[in-house]
């Protein structure tokens, strides 16, 4: 599983001209599901997401997690996080999970976040979406279940 986590002041995602999800202060999480991912991967990555200390304390040091900050999460599926551009000019997606498997694990990741007390809004799986966000910092973190980065 690959995540791009951005700390935001606000964000929203739309599909077909309709807002699917919207949050105030918190994070946007772009989620890519790989062929090797399992349900337990979702729980581990959810924990890593909510306990990631990227929110400022009173002196401006990143000391608080999403849970401690009281922020929300906007979670958007994005299979292109598994795009391999090491050869040629067109990304290859061989390592991305097939849509039917990815949907189950994407929904499991969202449920893991919710079960830990995070308010979660989502995009629409497999839809062409528009994401609007105000990155706070900017703070952008890459996370990979295989700990490649």
Per the residue annotation, which of 6, 41, 49, 78 is the catalytic one?
78
Helical segments of the chain, H only: 39-51, 66-69, 99-115
Q: Which of 107, 76, 85, 80 is nearest to 96 (CA)?
A: 80
Whether a cis peptide bond, with omega within 30° of 0, leads into 138 is yes
Per the residue annotation, which of 51, 80, 130, 140 is the catalytic one?
80
Nearest-5° Cα angle at 117, 116 to 123: 95
80 is catalytic: yes
14 Cβ neighbours under 8 A, 6+ residues apart: 20, 129, 130, 132
Per the residue annotation, which of 6, 49, 55, 79 is the catalytic one?
79
130 is catalytic: no
Q: Which residues are catalytic?
A: 78-80
């Amino acid at each position: 599983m690959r995540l791009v986590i951005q700390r935001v002041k606000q964000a929203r995602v739309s599909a077909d001209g309709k807002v699917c999800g919207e949050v105030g202060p918190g994070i946007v999480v772009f989620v890519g599901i790989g062929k090797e991912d399992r349900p337990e991967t979702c729980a581990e990555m959810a924990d890593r997401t909510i306990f990631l200390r990227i929110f400022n304390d009173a002196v401006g040091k990143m000391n608080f997690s999403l849970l401690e900050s009281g922020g929300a999460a906007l979670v958007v599926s994005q299979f292109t996080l598994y795009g391999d551009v090491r050869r040629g000019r067109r990304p290859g997606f061989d390592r991305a999970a097939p849509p039917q498997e990815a949907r189950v694990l994407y929904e499991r990741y969202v449920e893991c976040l919710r079960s830990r007390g995070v308010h979660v809004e989502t995009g629409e799986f497999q839809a062409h979406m528009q994401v609007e966000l105000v990155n706070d910092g900017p703070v952008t973190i890459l996370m990979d279940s295989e700990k490649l980065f």
